[in-house]
A and B are shown apart, each in its own frame.
Chain A
Amino acid sequence: MKLWKTILAAATLSLAAATSAFAARTDLTLGIVLEPPHLDPTAGAGAAIGEVTYANVFEGLTRIDDNGQVQPALAETWAVSDDGKVYTFKLHSGVKFHDGSAFSADDVKFSLDRARAKDSLNPQKPLFAHITDVTAVDPATVKVTLDGPQGDFLYDMGQVAAVIVGKASADGNKDKPIGTGPFKLDHWAKGSEITLIKNPDYWGTPAALDKATFRIVPDAAAAVPALLSGDIQAFANMPAQDALAQVQSDPRFSVVIGSTEGETILSINNKKPPFDKLAVRQALASAIDRSAVIAAASNGLGKPIGSHFSPGDAGYVDLTGVYPHDIAKAKAYLKEAGLENGFSATIKLPPVPYARDGGQVIQSQLKEIGVNLQIIPVEWAEWLSQVFTNKDYDLTIVSHVEPNDIDIYSRPGYYFQYDNPKFNDVIKELGTTVDKDKRLELLGEAQKILAHDVPAVYLFELPKIGVWDAKLQGMWTNWPIEADDLTKVKWTD
């Protein structure tokens, strides 16, 4: 009896506390699925690192906004030389790192030199490959020299792995991230939550939130009750699966379906027979019904794609009609390849719902043209070593979440094992083209080559399922980069 009384009393108290907090709420608890292994975006690839720290804790010279556009950040303005090789960045003044030290051009030089150094472990080292020199002209001016014009340079400097770190604090960033952003780390209870608090000395527009907690909710089944009970008020990308309808019908929550940069594709080992034959790849593309895959693998929310390009990005060409779903045609392609009786192959599926669910649909669709797939479920670690590193696979399903990554098909040794000189030339030209219209034209050309040549079967763009309290404003709709930028997030009444 006594226990019940205590429980009741506690419940009443917590209810009272909840009501009084309604007045002017300035705290937010967000749910994230994966815990970042550490908090240094310049030292690890985990998407969760950027989710927590980008724009909140760390800032770069430029930044990417929620529309995927480049905006100034630590660099107030910049000028590009006529030959496109020299960028002169004018830095904001009065910027301080969270440890109180002043930010200056030296830190920019240090950060960029560190990222491109020989012994650099930066996960996106290719971003810095074209830099030949970084000079701190004066404390507020940095000159970056490239080996040639780079069309994407300003965008690249706004990416997660290109954030500016302090000379003195860089080595400790994994555990105690020291950036220049509007939030700083308060504490990290490993395995449980990461709490950021407002940085009172922020140089720009201060954040509306005083405190933001990223709570780690690894289990999809636990995410829904956590939201319904009010423990968690926002999921930038909720692992909702079948329970989404339940949340959608609840007026307390906003459900905002946006897009990511995740091209979900059926990757093909292009050097492995019989996939080295174009007709076989065309047969696969014609036999697969995208809408059925999308229904099973993303609750019908993903946008169909016909090439390796996000429908939300400038320069997108709709190529979903190049190989329409047509069993007869698919069989004809197989006959052309001399495989009218079909063949057997394996498909390795990483442990994500889109791959496991999508793989089963594709297995049954390909059976119709006599292609028998054996499903091999793998863990991420196995996928990385077997499929990505050793290229020991026939087919696999994976979402390529890096932004603007159509160039991966021209990378030597990449796991697609695709080598098309015509495509490589387009990418090479794109790399050095600065003119906007010319760039879009080249991007379109690259998309078309991939759509017709089928180095992979393009399925859909991974959706971002944003779910948050209806009173919350300023969360990102889309994920041009995986970041939970909280700088404009606030509670309304």
Chain B
Amino acid sequence: MITIDRLTKRFDRRAVLDELTLSIAAGDRIALIGSNGAGKTTLFRCLLGQYRHDGRVGFDGAGAGRRDAGALARIAFVPQLPPPLRMPVGELLGFAEKGAGADRALMQAIAERMGIDLDEVKKRPFYRLSGGQKQKILVTVALGRNADLMIFDEPSANLDPAARAVFIDLLAERRDASMLIASHRLEEVAPLVNRVIEMDRGRVVLDDAVMDRLKAGEFRRAEIVLSAPHAPFALALSGWGFEANGAGTRFTGPVPAAETFRFLGLLARYGSLIESLSLDQQPERVN
């Protein structure tokens, strides 16, 4: 769907994107990771036609012009920081509906699930909303559009855990669109994606097709040893079907291959407690 060929963007002679070459196929759901300054936001802005650049960005085989409104009609975007728009929320939704084809009923349904009452906030200026409310509205607008590609730049940064969980669910349900999600919480978006791309200093340093190796239906066997018993950790692992020894320090259980990232993300939260960890390399079927 999108072909990026030797994309280079410089600021004051410093290359923020350095001959980056990448292709995004229809149906790709990509987690874009990388440290601050790796070039993720710059890549998004080049895709949206907001930066001049060297190299080529093509949409559906055609080398799109600098900024093609036809291509933008197929892309929904949620920025890292909500803009301080002065317009009331209702006007923003109306603009998205009339100018970008967003579906009013769909936005209403999404907002309800995100926990925000559009009728209550529709007359309030957007910039007066809390950070979380703003993010929910932006997600509502993006998901309310009939877009082929959704670009999310740290979309859940301002969301509370409950809203974040709903947001992830909404993304998982949206099977008809490709996604490009920049997130520092890889474990959170990992179940959604079939591809992980890591950027460093403007280049792709890892492009991993997750589903090729971590196929749905396959499992790994994990064994974890803690330095001391820890009730919250035991509770978290019980949800994954793990068994504990009598002392509550050794846990064994299956990890669905496709859920590996999310499982490792869970473990990362308890990293200081873990003495040893093994993941069986041989996939084993568990019934």
A and B assemble together: no
